[in-house]
Homo-oligomer: A and B are copies of this chain.
Amino acid sequence: MATRQVLIAGKWQNAQASGTFTTENPATGQKLPDEYPISSWSDCDAALTAAAEAAVAMRSIAADSIAKFLRRFAERIESRAGELVEMANNESGLPKSPRLAEVELPRTTGQLRQAAEAAAEGSWTLATIDTKANIRSFLAPIGPVCVFGPNNFPFAFNSVAGGDFAAAIAAGNPVIGKANTSHPGTTRLLAEEALGAVTDTGLPPATVQLIYRTSHDEGAKLVSDIRTGAIAYTGSRSAGLTLKSAADRAGKPIYLELSSINPVVILPGVLAERLDKLAEEFAGSCLMGSGQFCTNPGLVILLAGESTERLIAAVKQRFEAATPAPLLSAGVQRSLTNAVKILQEAGAKLVTGGQPVSAAGYRFANSLLRVDGATFLKNAEKLQTEAFGNVSLLVVARDIAEAKAVLDHMEGNLTGCVYSAASGADDSAYDQLVPHLRHRVGRLLNDKMPTGVAVSPAMNHGGPYPATGHPGFTAVGIPASLRRFGMLQCFDSVRPNRLPPILRDKNPTGKTWRLVDGKWSTGDVGTL
């Protein structure tokens, strides 16, 4: 069996490998046929050199060409959809339909097209012109971006096709993709189409590169290299923090999306109004994709009482009625088993589930745990262990004061939800609790589960540490997500013909929003 090739400097080539790896189909546990290389430093080094050259070339490429590439790439993904869905299904165990074919793949091409539009329009750069002082600035490309994709979205967060990739490219930067090792084949097919689109549209050959795996040390070396501009990482907390530490020491911006348990508060009044619908909504959100979402509702805060007990019973019933879907890998099953053990050791009691399912592939029983507020407060850190999968912990607080205290112990999270009665019966409780929740989460929801992450300009898929590494940025939502990959470049008294087009008096597109003397406008300077 030949080892698959890496993509460096526009060429598929044999890796300088320190070893190889294979993967399994997690739905069956069967080994998949392909073998992939573990790259040694010389692959990383070659990719960095090519990326640095591409970054220079891309600085003088019109944003329109980058937009064309992104659109062309979306088309090519669509024309190879069948094979991609087949491969992703084999590697991830995620259902072909609707999940992969009708939801995730269209989301991915949709993101690429939105990113194309943002690149062409240029408003993401926050171009700012002070005509009186003749000082002008905008966010310019930051340089080569290393993208580390997660295991749970083989398309939509793929390191060579997903949200971080689209944002980094749209901002004018080449990408070095590090495949998630659970779906190297999907990543390879996507990289083939990316390279095709690069060729079709005449971008620098090293606009998109791909390596599959490195040692931890070489990953750290890659992100801290002088040629690296920035890093985007989505995945486990431990690996993420290792990369963060290396990048921080080298002064490289690293955008992380780490663990999040996404607290959901359900107040008594809403239970009186629609307990069953809520049980349905919660079970659906928690079990979707076997719970392997960054925004999975992993912790629910309830107030002690009879209706809360009925909700728990209703959820239990639904958890038990649903067949556990496969997890993404043996590793996910192992971590989940371990996390549930930690939660139990810290005082949580099983309501249902709690152990791997003995069936083909890697599955875990749909699991619900509960703990009272007082116990939670005694062991708050351990009881916030992320159980990445179809597991949720219910925290039953004695009263609002205890619920507040629980919220005060929450780490940073991507989302926080509060369900309250339509009647207004919970309004006072809402007003008391939300000040303790709002600043601990990136996105606050009302009466809605957190799992949906719309690609909206107003979305925040981010939040305070340790959910991410910086609370000012979002990984989803265009154009805001592009700003992670820009450096602020100011031009002070630079002669007009030497300015980048976006900062000249004439608005280069007639539709780029620029802040001119304190007013946002799409017009030319001098005509406002």
Contacts and interface: CB of A to CB of B under 8 A. Distances in A.
A110 to B, nearest CB: 14
Contacts of A486: 472
Nearest to A490: B460
Nearest to A249: B245
24 contacts: A128-B457, A133-B454, A133-B456, A133-B458, A135-B454, A135-B456, A137-B458, A137-B459, A142-B472, A248-B248, A251-B412, A253-B470, A253-B471, A415-B492, A430-B498, A442-B488, A442-B490, A445-B493, A446-B494, A448-B493, A458-B490, A460-B488, A472-B486, A473-B488
A204 to B, nearest CB: 15
**Assembly of this chain: how many copies?**
2
B471 A435 contact: no
Interface residues of A, number: 72
A136 interface: yes
B439 A493 contact: no
A483 interface: yes
Nearest to A258: B251
Nearest to A497: B427
Contacts of A435: 56, 59
Interface stretch (A359-367, A371-379, A513-521): A513-521
B492 A448 contact: yes
A513 B518 CA distance: 9
Shortest 3 CB-CB distances between A and B: which pairs? Answer: A251-B465, A520-B520, A460-B490
Interface of A: 56, 59, 126, 128-130, 133, 135-137, 139-140, 142-143, 244-245, 248-253, 412, 415, 430, 434-435, 438-439, 442-448, 454, 456-460, 462, 464-466, 469-474, 480, 483-484, 486-495, 498, 513, 515, 518-521
Most chain B CB atoms below 10 A, which of A415, A442, A498: A498
